[in-house]
Structure 1
Amino acid sequence: MSGVFAGFATITVIIAFGVLLGHLRVVDERGHRTLSTVAFFLASPALLFSVLQDSDLSRVFSGNLVAISAAVAATALVTLAAARWRRDDVGRTVIAMMCSSYCNAGNLGLPIAAYVLGDTALIAPVLLLQLLVLQPLALTALDVAAAPGAVSLSQGLTRPLRNPITVASMAGIAVAVAGVEVPAAVNDPIALLGGMAVPAMLLAYGVSLRLGPLPGRGVAPGELGLSVGLKLLAQPTVAYLVGLMLGLDQDALLAVTVISALPTAQNVFVIASRYGRAELLARDAIFVSTLGCVPVVVAIVALVA
């Protein structure tokens, strides 16, 4: 359990530095945009390539993936229905769906998988599901929504190939499947750039907390409550129930339930900032779900384990 608290403590410290930078006006609104843009176009693609090139794909396709996918689909569909009822535009709907279903599998998921579940490989199914399916679909929808004119079918289908995050993810998977070793002269600079991704995302998030409205004041409480409730409560519940139906053993059930209860990922805010869609919703969903994740994960471990 110490890994859970250590992961949250690390994130909190870096976000606090972002708040300080915003408070001292070392980073203003323009600087915040620049930081988010660098994270989106350069650092995040480098990180994803580095992570995925070493992934063990043989452990991905299992009952764990089915349970996690079912939970993601359930929360996304509920969010979609609520967004249609509110008559939200496409961009806000996509970000809302990511807030309720896209979990922090990287800088929180990895330490939790290591110290709570005892195996970092357990995070691979949700990590690859998000990087290879959910994120490309979301980015394509946002690209199409942001296009100034009508988008043809061929343009829509090829848009993922023009997005650096999707391209880097596909390249990493291709290297993993081929089993080739990337030369150090290429891999080392990519790894160095990738090391900037998580700190840049967290700093940009901290700056936004200081420069924007306080959490909870810029978003309708009902919309925020739905996103956080689906993420922390509905998603792990569905994952657990589907896992039971699939006959997963106790360790696998604990894994899919804890992983599904991870908070909304920081890169949802980076994506929202990049496209100028529902930024306050993404920011507040991350903030509230991250705070609420600790007692939820502790309760899951106590009940399921």
Structure 2
Amino acid sequence: MPLALMVLEIVAPVFLLAGIGFVWVKLGFEYRIQFVTQLAMTLSVPCLIFVSLMQTEIDPAALTALSLASVVAYGAISLAAGLLVGVMRLDRRTYMAPLIFGNTGNLGLPLALFAFGETGLGYAVVVFAIMAIWSFTFGIWLVAGAGSLGKVLREPLVWGTLLGALFLWQDWQTPVFLTNTLRLIGQIAIPLMLITLGVAVARLSPGGVMRAIFLSLVKLALCVGISWAAAEAFDLDRIAFGVLVLQVATPVAVTSYLLAEKYGADSQAVAGLVVVSTLMSVGALPLLLAILL
């Protein structure tokens, strides 16, 4: 199969589902984004993560290497983002978190699944969980000036990851009826997150577009370069390598906008980053996939 067609088959469902959410809102139909997001993050995504880890046949040593590479990558990106914000004299509360954290849930998980199969999804949920923990602690501190360890411990996706890792390590399995139930719940996560992404982008009012274009380009270059170096340093296999780079390179997450809105940062500037980086990813992610496949 030609490479271009293979990449199209991977990315087309992702952006078509996001497009459905975008058109849905533009047609004036109701979409309760808070309810859907809570349903996904509280129920379906934790089930998806748990079942994916429990049933994965990935070598635990490979998962450990990917976890360490992810921690190093996000640590280095955090340092680079802090340096960039300082040099450009940008507001830390507004710009640091969007430059660090990508949309590893809405975009990263489905792309990893379509590009690398169930094995890729198993790797992707590990990267997603590490990003989420860093976001709920350091990310919230950046925006709000306060830590949130308690919030991490209350997040179902964290417990889904820990339990999934435990079941993987011990080679345990839930009863078949329970596994089938959890799998069905988890299967709604990816379409829900993609449609919600389109809805969120449709409702945002971007600000500072020219600055957003520049920062989105810099974010993409930093994230790809640093994650690529981390993957090389930890000698990740082909799938883990591709998943790490793809996950870290995803555009600015809508949650960055929600946090800016909640804690009084410049939410319109963050909205500009979300919209611009997401539109940029329509061209950048297929190109990146073509390199990684």
TM over 0.5: yes
Residues 1:225 and 2:214 are matched in the alignment: yes
CA shift, 1:212, in A, is 2.7
CA shift, 1:97, in A, is 1.1
User: Which amino acid in the other structure matches residue 221 of structure 1?
Assistant: M
Contact 2:48-2:183 at 8 Å conserved across structures: yes
As a proportion of its length, which structure holds more helix?
Answer: 2
Contact 1:104-1:264 at 8 Å conserved across structures: no
Aligned position for 1:34: 35
1:80 to 71, 79, 82: 82
User: Which amino acid in the other structure matches residue 35 of structure 1?
Assistant: V
Equivalent residue of 1:185, what SS? Answer: helix
User: Which amino acid in the other structure matches residue 91 of structure 2?
Assistant: R
Residues 1:159 and 2:151 are matched in the alignment: yes
Aligned position for 1:138: 135
1:1-305 alignment runs, 5 A limit: 1=3, 2-28=5-31, 31-55=32-56, 56=58, 57-62=60-65, 70-84=72-86, 85-89=89-93, 93-99=96-102, 104-114=107-117, 121=119, 124-125=122-123, 127-131=125-129, 133-141=130-138, 156-213=148-205, 217-231=206-220, 233-241=221-229, 248=235, 252=237, 256=241, 259-261=244-246, 264-265=249-250, 268-270=253-255, 272-273=257-258, 276=261, 278=267, 280=271, 281-298=273-290, 300=291
1:203-258 Cα distance to aligned partner (Å, 9 max, x none): 11212233333xxx434433443244333x33333444566667x5xx95796367
Identity of aligned residues (%): 15
Instruction: Flag the 1:171–1:257 CA change in 2: closer, same or farther, 3 A.
Output: closer
CA shift, 1:182, in A, is 0.7
Query: d(CA) in 2 for partners of 1:226 and 1:285?
Result: 9
CA shift, 1:14, in A, is 0.9
Query: d(CA) in 1 for partners of 2:146 and 2:284?
Result: 41
Query: d(CA) in 1 for partners of 2:82 and 2:53?
Result: 29
TM-score normalised by structure 1 residue count: 0.73
Contact 1:49-1:172 at 8 Å conserved across structures: yes
CA shift, 1:295, in A, is 2.4
Contact 2:45-2:189 at 8 Å conserved across structures: yes
Query: d(CA) in 2 for partners of 1:138 and 1:188?
Result: 31
Equivalent residue of 2:110, what SS? Answer: coil
5+ residue gaps, structure 2, are none
Query: d(CA) in 2 for partners of 1:228 and 1:212?
Result: 20
User: Which amino acid in the other structure matches residue 223 of structure 2?
Assistant: Q
Query: d(CA) in 1 for partners of 2:80 and 2:70?
Result: 16
Query: d(CA) in 1 for partners of 2:30 and 2:119?
Result: 37
State how many pairs are aligned.
Answer: 279
CA shift, 1:292, in A, is 1.5
Instruction: Flag the 1:93–1:100 CA change in 2: closer, same or farther, 3 A.
Output: farther
Contact 2:106-2:190 at 8 Å conserved across structures: no
Instruction: Flag the 1:51–1:282 CA change in 2: closer, same or farther, 3 A.
Output: farther
Equivalent residue of 2:77, what SS? Answer: helix
Equivalent residue of 2:173, what SS? Answer: coil
Instruction: Flag the 1:197–1:164 CA change in 2: closer, same or farther, 3 A.
Output: same
Query: d(CA) in 2 for partners of 1:294 and 1:69?
Result: 25
